[in-house]
Amino acid sequence: MVAAVILAAGRSSRMGRPKPQLRHVAADDTFVGHLIRTAQEARLDPILVVVADGSTALAAEVERRGAKTLINVAPDRGQLSSILVGLDAADAAGASAVMIMPVDVPLLSPAVLEAVLAAAAADDAQIVRATHAGQHGHPVLFKRSVFDELRAADPSIGARAVVRANPARVRDVEVNEPGVTLDIDTPEDYRRAFGRDL
């Protein structure tokens, strides 16, 4: 069982408005909605969305779309704090691995997730990540064997410290989708990705 952990607790300060509920390609879709549906189509379970305390509208959308909301009461501690909230819930549910999906990387497809899952199943690598044109991207899958290392990681460095600790245990999966490396953090990023203003 591989759990999806969608990270949606950031401040979105550079965007100027919450990224999780920005409009995606379709008029009735959002960043978080697209990622939930993508995880569902790839048969990840459970699908966990980490949000900041007080994110009432976002939590309602998450639940409406069939995922589970988790609250990060201290998101200012950095992305690792949200990963750990999701990790603990996934661990408690008996997941053998977690697939980390930041909400500001909203152009992932089910095919990408399935490629990462297939590589993880076929390889003894402990960490599997999508790449495009040799550039590391998302999602990143962490197997249960590194859960405690994530918990012990330096918050100022985050999960990167675990990924970099031993390159031999990391498997890169090259995919023909540039969206795996596309972080959308600003209105300009959004305009380039979707061809329209916010």
Torsion angles phi and psi, residue 4, rounded to 5: -90, 135
Q: pLDDT tens for residues 122-162?
A: 989 999 999 999 999 999 999 999 999 999 999 999 999 99
Note the pTM of the prediction, 2 decimals.
Answer: 0.96
Sorted by where each starts, the structural domains of the chain and their CATH numbers stand as 2-193 (3.90.550.10)
| Gyration radius of the chain over CA positions | 16
d(CA 189, CA 49) in angstroms, rounded, equals 23
Write down the pLDDT at residue 2: 98
| Mean confidence (pLDDT) of the chain | 96
Give the closest residue to 4 by CA, choosing from 42, 57, 54: 42
Q: pLDDT tens for residues 153-198?
A: 999 999 999 999 999 999 999 999 999 999 999 999 999 999 999 9
Average pLDDT of the residues in 41-47: 98
Using the predicted structure, report yes or no on whether residue 27 has a pLDDT greater than 90. Answer: no
Write down the pLDDT at residue 192: 95
Q: Which residue blocks in 76-138 are alpha helix, DSSP H?
A: 79-92, 110-122
